[in-house]
Amino acid sequence: MARERCVIIGNGPAANAAAVALRQETSELDIMMIGEETFPHYRPHLLPAYVAGAISKEDLFVTPPSFYEKCNIRIRLGQRVVQVKLDQRELVLSHKEIVPFDALIIACGGRQRIPERLQIFEELLLTLKTPADAQRWIEGLKSAETILIVGGDLTSLSFATAIASAGKRVTFMLEEESFWPLPLSRDLADDVKQRLTRKGVEIIEASCIKRLTRKSEDVIEVDTDTGLIASNLVGAFYGLIPNVKFLVRSGLDVERGVLVDENLRTRFDLVYAAGDCAQIYHPELRDYWVSIGYRNAMEQGKIAAQNLSGGMISIAAPPASIFCAEGVMVNTSWWMEF
């Protein structure tokens, strides 16, 4: 008789924590992780340091391939789930492979958010979510002298200071109102600006980008409400959005992310969601909240696995760290000094 199979969609902190916790619970289960990125599990918050040359590429990665082999966890990278058929308990991959499952943990994380108004200029913008993005920055920075950062999120702060310390001229167009994951208060914005300025980053006052134009091979012109800015590279940092588009017709309740209860269960038996892609019910708030950050994701992955194995653990959501951003409750554990 075939062993029961749990498929984990994703290869980030939530997915890896779930896989490890599941294996600790049982050796009988066939555990398969399917990740869209080609890279093994890495620490995204170290990407700015990697781009700035402060750490090596190897330092980014958490788990060597031998670990999965040792734990008898099957990991599939660079493969994309395009459909989840919950009634048939099957996944469909982009190359038309059908993968049956008995249990499912959705931990597919988030993807870089580019505001709709800027999407037509996307090819002129660099983001920083994956090691591939980091590689593009590294290549670009070899010849670039001036870098413009637009938007603002937690990664952008450490990134701006990291490349400024590497000798580049960094200009930051801080969009306080659309700072991610939550708009900056006046006091907090002032504090952020002061800290950035002290680290050699120039802050410019502009609130809106009208147009981006490539003026030459290495110059991009940014038309803002306060004037034109020319830069060699332009980085867009507008945070993440849950990567759940492929789940829309799955029958799962999907809003901003996959809706789950405080035990991370979806409304389908043995189907859980964890990490950046989950929107978790908070009984006290009587609302769903999303979480960001490496530590939150790991914790949720672990709890999803434990609950899948018969546990009934609720996600702890300390009220003090929950913020309201754009009408969504956000719990962030990723805030750090910069």
114 touches 133 (CB < 8 A)? no
* Residue 296 C-beta: closest distance to another protein, Å: 25
Q: Which of 71, 77, 114, 189 binds another protein (CB under 8 A)?
A: 77
Stretch that binds another protein, among 75-83, 166-174, 244-252, 310-318 (CB under 8 A): 75-83
Rounded Cα–Cα distance for residues 157 and 159 (Å): 5
Which class for 186: exposed (0-12), middle (13-18), buried (19 or more C-beta within 10 A)?
Answer: exposed
Residue 132 CB, nearest distance to another protein (Å)?
5
Q: Nearest approach, Cβ of 57 to another protein (angstroms)?
A: 12
Residue 4 within binding range of another protein, rule CB under 8 A: no
CA angle 289, 311, 1 (to 5 degrees): 115
Please report, to the nearest 10 degrees, the dihedral formed by the alpha carbons of residues 55, 135, 295, 324 taken in order: 130
Contact 128, 159 (CB under 8 A): yes
Asked if residue 283 lies in contact with residue 310, where contact means CB atoms within 8 angstroms, the answer is no
Cis omega before residue 64 (within 30°)?
Answer: no
Cα angle: 192, vertex 198, 203; to 5 degrees: 60
Least distance in Å: CB of 90 to another protein?
Answer: 9
- Interface with another protein (CB under 8 A), residue total 22
CA Rg value for the chain: 21
What's the min distance (Å) between Cβ of 243 and another protein?
15
Told to check if 64 binds another protein by CB under 8 A, we report no
Using rule CB under 8 A, residue 203 touches another protein: no
Interface residue with another protein, options 43, 45, 76, 195 (CB under 8 A): 76
Q: What CA–CA distance (Å, rounded) separates 175 from 236?
A: 11
Between 38 and 213, CB nearer to another protein: 38
Least CB distance to another protein at residue 181 (A): 24
Select from 3, 4, 24, 38 the one that contacts another protein (CB under 8 A): 38
Q: How far apart are CA 290 and CA 288, in angstroms?
A: 7
**Binding another protein by CB under 8 A: which of 132, 166, 285, 336?**
132
228 interacts with another protein by CB under 8 A = no
In the complex, what is the shortest distance from the CB of residue 245 to another protein, in angstroms, rounded to a whole number?
17
Amino acid of residue 291: S
When the beta carbons of 97 and 145 are compared against another protein, the nearer one is: 97
Binding mask 78-117 for another protein (x = CB under 8 A): xx------------xxxxxxxxx-----------------
Residue nearer to another protein on the CB measure, 100 or 311: 100
